[in-house]
Amino acid sequence: MRDSSMNYKEFLERKQRFDVNTGHEPTPTSDVLFDFQSDIVKWAVRRGRAAIFADCGLGKTLMQLEWAKQICEHNGGDVIILAPLAVAAQTAREAHNMLNMKVQVCETQDDIRPGINITNYEKLHNFEPSHFAGVVLDESSIIKHHTSKTRDQLLQSFQSTPYRLACTATPSPNDFMELGNHAEFIGAMTRSEMLSMFFIHDGGDTAKWRLKGHAQGDFWKFLCSWAVMVRKPSDLGYIDSNFTLPHINIKDHVIKADGPRNGMLFAIAAKTLSDRRAARKESLEDRVAVAADLVNKSTEQWIVWCDLNIESDMLKKSIVDAIEVRGSDNNRHKEAAMIGFSEGRHRVLVSKPSIAGFGMNFQNCHNMAFVGLSDSFEAYYQATRRCWRFGQKNPVNVHVITSEMEGGVVANIKRKEQDAERMATAMVEHMSSISSIEIKGISRTVSEYKPKQEVVLPKFLEAI
């Protein structure tokens, strides 16, 4: 006769799911790494499949390179790093200069060399994923959208890859879909499983999810079984030392509206997308003039962020020494321009956050201007963090130039910034104690089911 109490015990244990280690014991890491970086790498090597959510400037590039090196040395296989455009060349340079490590920049599978290889996400179709023992997603927030073609391609291509590492500074703390996509890429749990186990729909909006009250503790434990989130070393119990952000000066420049529009008695802030576009068009010349005046009076390096092609055109014409990077440019020009700017060979870079705002290290510059804003907080955050990051030695000056009619967009970005900061703080607070134990190599205690009395299931449930 079937032991019903044992079946029920197994059923509950299956419900309490934590991802297990699939890696191997690490070897000593490079002396170049700080203690917290070294310990995170060792943890990720033991894990085999892991995610590192570390703020800009905390050394994600060095950590992923050291992780990849350990994987190659352990099993003799090759590792491929996927990165945003121009980040590949930057990573190869940092590997050589800081770790004395060779990283092959590749266009196709024919370029692969034994060891660590790197390419851009756009070129993934030129490679055979089954060849690699390990894969790294640099700026892995690219899998944010659960319906995107890129996300599906990455999940399908590397679902059987033994070693997987995802690295990003900004998994949206309040975007549980993105965390679900990371969990699915790592192989810890599918996005659907994660949502159904720990979350419920928030009211009538089926696109929004919130943690079940009784599941919060288990969710953070589950997350810490495969991911670490750190905004500064002290989050994990280390000394912050040099990892202190410089002061940031944000100055708003608001272009006054010429007058009311659409028959209105007073000027009213644009609310719809079409109204915002019209408002931006009307203030275009004034916004560009403010940016050009700021940059042309300076002798220092500047990044000027824009959102529309016409803004980019006018900025390039109005600013002395400006080099423009736009979507229609060929990849060779984009890479050369961004690397040239990072090395100080160009004084002014004009581009969109969607093109140059992810992954690049522009600590050489501490001045930037946004000539208008989109509704994306992530784009604003990432663009700002190209300069305002750990390792920046100067205060960072950020000028936000908008029309009076675009006040709703600015307010929306600020609200999202406050929400993200609040959620990130909560996330770190929930994860820090568990992560500290995980990262420093101390065994983690997992709650164990200990039945105190026998439970007999009804006949119709015995098949579960």
Confidence (pTM) = 0.81
> Which of the residue ranges 11-15, 152-156, 296-300, 333-337 would you say has the lowest mean pLDDT?
11-15
Q: How confident is the model at residue 445 (pLDDT cuts 50, 70, 90)?
A: very low
Residues 194-249 have pLDDT tens digits of 888 888 876 655 556 777 777 777 888 888 889 888 889 998 889 998 898 999 99
Q: Which residue did the predictor score with more confidence, 158 or 444?
A: 158
pLDDT at 2: 45
To the nearest whole percent, how much of the chain has pLDDT over 90? 50
List the domains of the chain with CATH numbers.
6-242 (3.40.50.300), 248-416 (3.40.50.300)
pLDDT at 418: 82
Helices and strands, counts by H and E, the chain:
15, 15
Q: How confident is the model at residue 1 (pLDDT cuts 50, 70, 90)?
A: very low
DSSP 214: G
Residues 103-121 have pLDDT tens digits of 999 999 999 999 999 999 9
Q: Which residue did the predictor score with more confidence, 269 or 323?
A: 323
pLDDT at 447: 43
> Which of the residue ranges 126-130, 161-165, 274-278, 349-353 would you say has the lowest mean pLDDT?
274-278
Angle between the N-to-C axes of helices 60-75 and 87-99, in degrees from 0 to 180, rounded to the nearest 10: 70
> Which of the residue ranges 22-31, 164-173, 317-326, 383-392 would you say has the lowest mean pLDDT?
164-173
Q: What is the mean pLDDT of residues 322-329?
A: 93
Averaged pLDDT score across all residues of the chain: 84
Residues whose CB falls within 8 Å of the CB of residue 384, separated by 6 or more in sequence, listed in order: 248, 368, 396, 398
Nearest to 434, CA basis, from 234, 228, 231: 228
> Do residues 325 and 341 touch, judged by C-beta distance below 8 A?
no
Residues whose CB falls within 8 Å of the CB of residue 29, separated by 6 or more in sequence, listed in order: 37, 38, 41, 42, 66, 70
pLDDT at 305: 97
Residues whose CB falls within 8 Å of the CB of residue 22, separated by 6 or more in sequence, listed in order: 47, 48, 49, 162
Q: How confident is the model at residue 266 (pLDDT cuts 50, 70, 90)?
A: very low
> Do residues 350 and 323 touch, judged by C-beta distance below 8 A?
yes
